[in-house]
Amino acid sequence: MSVFTDVPLAQKLEGSLLKTYKQDDHPNKMFLAYKVCMTSQGQPWVSSVVLKTRMQIAQDPSLTYEYTPVMGMKSFIQASLNLLFGKDSQVIMENRAGGVHTVGDSGAFQLGAQFLKTWRRDSQIVYIISSQKEPHGLVFQDMGFTVYEHTFWDSTRLCLDPSMLLNVVEQAPHGCIFVIGNIGNCKLTQGQWTQLMVLMKSKQIFPFFDIPYQGLATGDLDEDARFLQYFVSRGFEFFGSQSLSKNFGIYDEGVGILVVVALSNELLLCVLSQLMDFAWALWLNPPTTGARIITSVLCNPAMQGEWKQSLEGAVENIMMTKETGHKEKLRLLGAPGSWDHITEQKGSHSYLGLNPQQVEYLVKKKHICIPKNGRINFTCINSYNIDYITESITEAVLFTKDSEK
């Protein structure tokens, strides 16, 4: 008898929508839920500077391809931290920010959760709040944490509501862990920022930030990471998952760092030493190809400038698609309601603001595959499919309104 006899099939975490799309033989079928940024030709977006850098690295005779230290490439870590905080920032100058080179988009959460499970045994409650449901909860659940998930997307008012974030903080117990994603997309006023800081400080809540696409939200690298300055200025210690796959377009070589900010260099070194022990057990040595590409770009002013331009161009295309390609077409087609919420959201992935019945209509009747929450990847929309998509959305909204009468 097999030792695997009692092992059941795991419930699929994702892929059912993509499976539906692949099995559909309709000529106008579309998939608007890809994770990666797409080009107007329907291919994954890659920064132009990455292609040139990859060739240069491949032809570099000085590379030895030795194992890296457990912490990873030091030059990559420092370049990533400088990108996130600014090389002249307070935490960099005081040597209070460090990091560990991690594997993939979830590696930092795996490593950070392992540390918190061991060294914060009095606090095993995790709140995850973002603009969407995140996969991080599974990492913490597997570690034995009690996980509560919340979103600050208000499906009734069709907006990212900062008061929802504040309400969750008010309800949260003392000393819990807060995993926060896309907080830069949530427009807090100065007063709300102050209120959030005071609440989290008084409850000794430990922040763990998800920073998956710096520069791809607004096109401004500094602006997309500005929220961190609030926490630094208020003396917070925190972790961050800084993923650098999406903003360079190297999705198949997922790479990032677990960012650590401590109150002193002495405390930082203690934390990093423990994290290296966990990294040794988890993956021993992180992959370096993606890290080499990113480090080469960030450490070369000309190449970094070209990369920044490519980010700005990508964001401009996203906003153009939302404004003139989508919102304006829906208005001209007479789609009921206001569609301002589409352009008020930052980044490639945004909510359409459709209800479940309207989403079901698009999937089943129009063969447009989108998630149940109606959050789509706007880079999947291009000149070839925009008319069909906007006409289908208008039809779905009108149909459901008629059926309600």
pLDDT digits (tens, 9 = 90+) for 293-338: 999 999 999 999 999 999 999 999 999 999 988 999 999 999 998 9
User: Can you read off the two tokens belonging to residue 7?
Assistant: 């092992």
Contacts of residue 172, Cβ cutoff 8 Å, sequence gap at least 6: 125, 127, 178, 203, 205
Average pLDDT, stretch 31-51? 92
Residues 206-238: tens digit of each pLDDT: 999 999 989 999 999 999 999 999 999 999 999
**Around 293, how many Cα atoms within 13 Å sit in the side-chain half-sphere?**
26
Residue 13 has pLDDT above 80, yes or no: no
Give span(s): CATH 3.40.640.10, the chain.
Answer: 68-299
Specify the pLDDT at position 104: 81
What confidence tier does 403 reach under pLDDT thresholds 50, 70, 90? low
DSSP helix/strand/coil, 49: helix
**Around 156, how many Cα atoms within 13 Å sit in the side-chain half-sphere?**
1
DSSP string, 126-137: EEEEESS--THH
Specify the pLDDT at position 402: 60
Residue 405 has pLDDT above 70, yes or no: no
pTM for this prediction: 0.93
What is d(CA 346, CA 135) in angstroms, rounded to the nearest whole number? 20
Q: What is the rounded radius of gyration, in angstroms, for the C-alpha atoms of the chain?
A: 22
Hey, which CATH number is domain 68-299, 3.40.50.2300, 3.40.640.10, 3.40.605.10, 3.40.50.10880?
Answer: 3.40.640.10
What is d(CA 362, CA 371) in angstroms, rounded to the nearest whole number? 10
Residue 17 has pLDDT above 90, yes or no: no
Give span(s): CATH 3.90.1150.10, the chain.
Answer: 16-46+316-404
Average pLDDT, stretch 77-97? 96
Specify the pLDDT at position 26: 93
Specify the pLDDT at position 252: 85
Residues 117-167: tens digit of each pLDDT: 999 888 899 999 998 888 889 999 999 999 999 999 999 999 999 999 999
**CATH code of the domain made up of 16-46+316-404:** 3.90.1150.10
Report which of 196, 77, 182, 190 is spatially closest to residue 128, judged by C-alpha positions.
182
Contacts of residue 83, Cβ cutoff 8 Å, sequence gap at least 6: 214, 221, 298
What's the N-to-C CA distance of the chain in angstroms? Answer: 60
